[in-house]
Amino acid sequence: MLVVPALAGLALLLLPMAGLAWRAPWGRLPGLLTADHVLTALRLSLTTATLATVLALIMGIPVAWMLARDNVRGRGVLRGLVTVPLVLPPVVGGIALLVAFGRRGVVGGWLEQTFGINVPFTTVAVIMAQTFVAMPFLIIAVEGALRGADSRYDQIAASLGASPWTTFRRVTLPSVAPSVVAGAILCWARALGEFGATITFAGSLPGTTRTLPLEAYAAIGAGDTDTALVLSVIMVAVCVTVLVALRDRWVRAL
């Protein structure tokens, strides 16, 4: 009874990827992989996704730490809010970023008038869009680990005279390091795949804002199916690698 829907489900999940592998222009792969526009997009994607992950680590770990503490008021509401980007359609995130940081946006208008800084349609906008969408993955992973960690170690460190910052850095953080790594890898993979928020908030210009997924979208629009397929194969390969790297931590960290 259960076999038929199970097979249908597996077919739905696996056939598209099999199709990619089947249709991919393997013969032209070396040429396409070294094509200028593909390399440009790849370089931009790797750089921005990595910077977004660094930003997520710098800001996300403290957020996770705050959410894991019991004495922060409105913690439940706050946790709900920071996880909104997990389920929000990314294009809505892009529109939200545009009305906040756009030229006529609340923050964007002030930034432009005061400092002459323009965010949308720059590489910075790509990184912001990616951080917006990907950081919750890191926050959730780290918060879960912090909550599960034994707080007695922190108390002992504090009782031995360690300052809160030293305790956090030398005791708390190392104890949740595996989850931080797992969260960071997930966050990086999500940032690498970001499309909707990026194209809405950062636009699409080769070398500046056109990341791998945007390049694939532009290629399919231009009728260049081979390039689109090659880019898709690259992204599938990256995702599979990430999941393999995480296979032991997957269940435990999340």
Q: Which residues bind another protein (CB under 8 A)?
A: 98, 102-104, 118, 120-121, 199, 202-206, 208-210, 217-218, 220-223
Q: Count of CB atoms within 10 A of residue 161's CB?
A: 7
Q: How far apart are CA 57 and CA 61, in angstroms?
A: 6
Nearest distance from C-beta of residue 209 to another protein, angstroms: 7
Nearer to another protein, 183 or 213 (CB): 213
Nearer to another protein, 65 or 101 (CB): 101
- Residue that has been written with the tokens 């070396």 in this structure: 30
Nearest distance from C-beta of residue 220 to another protein, angstroms: 7
Nearest distance from C-beta of residue 121 to another protein, angstroms: 5
Do 67 and 75 meet the contact criterion of CB atoms below 8 Å apart? yes
Nearest distance from C-beta of residue 202 to another protein, angstroms: 8
Q: Where are the alpha helices (DSSP H) in 193-224?
A: 196-201, 212-221
Q: How far apart are CA 223 and CA 226, in angstroms?
A: 9
Nearer to another protein, 72 or 222 (CB): 222
Pick the closest to residue 118 from 101, 106, 132, 131 (CA basis): 101
Nearer to another protein, 5 or 221 (CB): 221
